[in-house]
Amino acid sequence: MTNIPDQKIPTPPANGGFDLNNPTIISLLYLGSFITGITGLVGIILAYVWRGDQEPWAASHFTFLIRTFWIGLIASIVSAMLTIILIGIPMLIAVSVWFAVRSVVSIVKAQRREPMPNPETLWI
């Protein structure tokens, strides 16, 4: 087995299973907001509180997750207003899928303790 010096080997979770690090907790709260409707607010508050005192890989997750919340909220409000002319219904579905996919991508990368490649992007 050859050892490649430039290759980053992710740190596995300490318990060998699911790592409940701060970006993962925020992403799970975001996903829980589809059921409860309120946990997204808890997630954004925690993202702002935890943003300053984290490992370097986590800092990109906080930027990514904060942008996900605010863009998702604004897009949801615009979509809800546009339901009057029926275009808002597919837009609400698209915003929901976008929000969920970004949250899941953050969970996957946080489990590997990898930074988000471009946290300020609108896409993934």
Return the percent helix, strand and coil in the chain, to nearest 5: 60, 0, 40
Q: pTM, whole model, 2 decimals?
A: 0.85
> Model confidence at 124, in pLDDT bands (50, 70, 90)?
confident
CA atoms 98, 101, 104, 108: torsion sign:
negative
**DSSP code of residue 85:** G
pLDDT for position 12: 55
pLDDT over 60 (residue 11):
no
Share of the chain above pLDDT 70, in %: 87
Res 5 pLDDT > 90: no
CA-based max dimension of the chain: 62
Q: What is the mean pLDDT of residues 44-49?
A: 97
Percent of the chain with pLDDT over 90: 79
What integer best gives the mean pLDDT of the chain?
89
